[in-house]
Chain A
Amino acid sequence: MAFLINRTPPARLSCLQYLLQLIDAKFGRRTFFMSDIMFDRNSINIHNLCKLLIEDKAFNIKYCPFLKNPLSEAGCYLTRAINNDTTKRKEISNTVNALGALGFLRRRGRELQITDLGLKFTRIDFKTQRWLQIIRKAICCYGPMVGLLYQIYKKDVEFSVSNLIVGYPNAEEAVRIEGKTIEISSGSQRDSNTRTKSCLLAWATTAGFIAPRSLAGRIAFDKAHIDTNNYILYSTRNNRIYRKGISPDIFDTNFITEIPLDYDNLTKNVRALREHGQKVLRQETMRYNDVIKNRRLAILYSLNKAFQEKKLINLNSLKEKLLLKPEWFVVSREDFNKVINVEIKIAFVAGIPFEVESGKYLKPVTGLKESVLIVNAPSQVISYLSSLVKEILS
C-alpha cells in the first residue's frame, strides 16, 4: 500500500532512521500499531536514540529541535506524543505512510511490521555512502517521487519548483444537487500540494538528485546527504529555485515503480473533508469516490500495459471505452472529455509518467508494479480493463 504523504516532518530522513531504530529496538520483526511508536515519556522512546535533540542545561531538558515549544508534551515532531492533542494524530499516520512509501515498513490493515530493507537501514551509519545508496534506491520506489523526478528530468539545469505537480489532479467536476452546483472535491488542495512537494524535494535533495541554488557548487554528489544535511535540518526550507544534481537513471531503462499509489489511494481521503459547512460536498464526493478511483485506475492500468508491450495509448479510444461503462467510470458525460484530459495527470502522482505524442497518444516512460496498483480494486473493473486494453494500444 502506498499513500500520498502530505505532511512535512518525514522530510528529514535521518529522523525516519531514528524512528526505525526505535521500532527495531521495541519490536524487531514483530508487528505493532501506530500508537506503539508514538512518543511516550513513560516507555522507551525516540529520545533514547535520536542524536538531533538539543540540550538546555539551564532547564535540564533535551528536546526535539523541530517542535516550536521545547517543553511540548509532543516530544517528537515525527510522531507526537501518545497523550498529545488528538488533532495531531495525522503526523504519526503520515510518518508511517512515509516509511511505507520508502519500503521500510509493511502495513496490513492496522498492523505494521518493519521490512528487511528497514532493518538494514537502521544499522547503517549516516556518514557512509551505503546510507546514500539505500536512500537513492528507496525514494525511487515511491510513485509520487518517480513522477516528480520525471518532471525535473524534463526541465533545464536550473528550475523553479513552483509548477511541479505532486498532488491529486483537480478536474473541477461539478454535479447538480437540489438545484445547486456542487464541485466534487477530487483534487489536492494547494496547501496539501505544498506540503507533499516540500517533503519530496527534501528527499530528492538528500539523495543528491537536486540541490537548492543556494547550495550550488558546495555539494559533492557522492556525499550529498552529508553536504545537504544542514539545509534539510532547517525548520523551514523556502528555496524555490533548484538545480539538477546526479541523475536518478530511471527514465532511459525498463524501470518499474515498485511502490505506486494503490487503488484505495487514487483519491484523497474524503472522510477528512470535515470543514465547517462541507457536509454536502463530502457526501457527493464520497458518492462518486469509486467512480473517480476506477477511472484513475483505468488510466494507470492502461499506461502500464502500454509500457509492458512498448506501445502507446490512444487517449480518445480509452475515453470511448470508458464511456461504455458509465456506472464505473463516468460522473458527468458532458464533461467527461475535459475531465479525463486533466485526470491523466494522476499518472505522475502514481508513478508512471508519460509523454504525449501527436496530441492524442500517451507514451509511458516507466512501468509500475501492477500487483500493488490493483490491491482492493474491483475484480469486474480489472477484467473489463484487461479486455479493452488491446483495443486502445497502438
Chain B
Amino acid sequence: MRLFKLPQKVKVAIRANVENLAKGKFDGSYSNFLVRNLDIKRDLTIFTAYYIGSRSNYLYSVEAKYLYGHRAKRIDAVFYKRGELFLFKFINNNSVLNRKALELDLLLADMLRRYQGIAITGCLVLSCDYREDTLQNIKQWFSNNIIFIKKGKIFITEKINSILDLAMDL
C-alpha cells in the first residue's frame, strides 16, 4: 500500500558534490519540485530521494556531481550516512540496463580509489520490466558492490534504517 498521494510538492536537495557528501558535508542547494507521475524517470528520481531522505537520516543529493573523465558526471541520487555512500541510478528501459550498470561499476571503482575508508554501494533502481536471470548475469560481471532495487519496494517502506534493506534478493 502506498504511503503517499500524488501529485505532491516536495523540496529536495540538489547538485551537491559527491566529494563533499562523502565527508558528510552538503554544498548543494534546495529546490521545490512537483511530482506527478512516478512512471516518469525524473519524477521517480526526485520522489525517491525525497522519500528516503524524509524517512531516514541520510544526507542526500539529487543530480550529485562527480568529477570523472571529460566533465563532471551527474549521478541521479547519492545518499551518505556514517561512512556509507550509496549511488543511485534509475533505469526505466531495459535496453539501457547493461550500459548504465557498467557505467555505475566504473564510477564506483574510481570512487573507491579516491575515498578510502568509505563503503560505497551502487544501487540500480528498476522501474522497467526485467528478468531475474538477466539481473543475475549482469551481477556476475560487477567488480564492485552493486545492488538492484525494485521501485515498488521503496515506496512501501515506512522507516528506512538502511538502504541495504531495500535490496532485491538475488
- List chain A positions with a Cβ less than 8 A from chain B: 56, 58-59, 61, 68-73, 85, 275-277
Whether A59 lies near B7 (C-beta < 8 A) is yes
25 A–B contacts from the bound complex (CB under 8 Å): A56-B34, A58-B7, A59-B9, A59-B34, A61-B34, A68-B42, A69-B31, A69-B32, A69-B34, A69-B42, A70-B34, A71-B9, A71-B31, A71-B32, A71-B33, A71-B34, A72-B31, A73-B31, A73-B32, A85-B15, A276-B67, A276-B69, A276-B71, A276-B72, A277-B70
A69-B31, A72-B31, A276-B70 given. 16 additional CB < 8 A pairs? A58-B7, A59-B34, A61-B34, A68-B42, A69-B42, A70-B34, A71-B31, A71-B32, A71-B33, A73-B31, A73-B32, A85-B15, A275-B70, A276-B67, A276-B69, A276-B71
Please indicate the chain B residues that have their CB under 8 angstroms from the CB of A56 in the complex. 34
- Write the chain A residue with the least CB distance to B36: A70
Please indicate the chain A residues that have their CB under 8 angstroms from the CB of B70 in the complex. 275-277
Task: Fill in one digit per residue for B66-79: 1 if any A CB lies within 8 Å of its CB, else 0.
Answer: 01011110000000
Please indicate the chain B residues that have their CB under 8 angstroms from the CB of A277 in the complex. 70
Query: Smallest Cβ distance from A189 to chain B, in angstroms?
Result: 11
Please indicate the chain A residues that have their CB under 8 angstroms from the CB of B7 in the complex. 58-59
Interface centre among B32, B34, B42, B67 (most CB of A within 10 A): B34
- List chain B positions with a Cβ less than 8 A from chain A: 7, 9, 15, 31-34, 42, 67, 69-72
Query: Smallest Cβ distance from A114 to chain B, in angstroms?
Result: 33
Please indicate the chain A residues that have their CB under 8 angstroms from the CB of B32 in the complex. 69, 71, 73
Could you tell me the distance between the alpha carbons of A45 and B90 in the complex, rounded to whole angstroms? 36
Query: Smallest Cβ distance from A163 to chain B, in angstroms?
Result: 25
Please indicate the chain A residues that have their CB under 8 angstroms from the CB of B34 in the complex. 56, 59, 61, 69-71
Could you tell me the distance between the alpha carbons of A6 and B7 in the complex, rounded to whole angstroms? 34
Query: Smallest Cβ distance from B137 to chain A, in angstroms?
Result: 31
Please indicate the chain B residues that have their CB under 8 angstroms from the CB of A72 in the complex. 31
- Write the chain B residue with the least CB distance to A74: B31
Could you tell me the distance between the alpha carbons of A275 and B32 in the complex, rounded to whole angstroms? 29
Could you tell me the distance between the alpha carbons of A276 and B67 in the complex, rounded to whole angstroms? 8
Please indicate the chain B residues that have their CB under 8 angstroms from the CB of A71 in the complex. 9, 31-34
- Write the chain B residue with the least CB distance to A275: B71
Query: Smallest Cβ distance from A131 to chain B, in angstroms?
Result: 33
Closest 5 CB pairs of A and B: A71-B32, A275-B71, A70-B34, A71-B34, A69-B33
Query: Smallest Cβ distance from A54 to chain B, in angstroms?
Result: 11
Query: Smallest Cβ distance from B114 to chain A, in angstroms?
Result: 14
Could you tell me the distance between the alpha carbons of A61 and B9 in the complex, rounded to whole angstroms? 12
Could you tell me the distance between the alpha carbons of A85 and B31 in the complex, rounded to whole angstroms? 11
Could you tell me the distance between the alpha carbons of A68 and B33 in the complex, rounded to whole angstroms? 9
Please indicate the chain B residues that have their CB under 8 angstroms from the CB of A69 in the complex. 31-34, 42
Please indicate the chain B residues that have their CB under 8 angstroms from the CB of A68 in the complex. 42
Could you tell me the distance between the alpha carbons of A5 and B81 in the complex, rounded to whole angstroms? 44
Could you tell me the distance between the alpha carbons of A277 and B72 in the complex, rounded to whole angstroms? 11
Could you tell me the distance between the alpha carbons of A73 and B33 in the complex, rounded to whole angstroms? 10
Query: Smallest Cβ distance from A81 to chain B, in angstroms?
Result: 12
- Write the chain B residue with the least CB distance to A278: B70
Could you tell me the distance between the alpha carbons of A72 and B32 in the complex, rounded to whole angstroms? 7
Please indicate the chain A residues that have their CB under 8 angstroms from the CB of B72 in the complex. 276
Query: Smallest Cβ distance from B36 to chain A, in angstroms?
Result: 8
Could you tell me the distance between the alpha carbons of A61 and B32 in the complex, rounded to whole angstroms? 13
Query: Smallest Cβ distance from A205 to chain B, in angstroms?
Result: 27
Could you tell me the distance between the alpha carbons of A73 and B31 in the complex, rounded to whole angstroms? 8
- Write the chain A residue with the least CB distance to B72: A276
Query: Smallest Cβ distance from B15 to chain A, in angstroms?
Result: 8
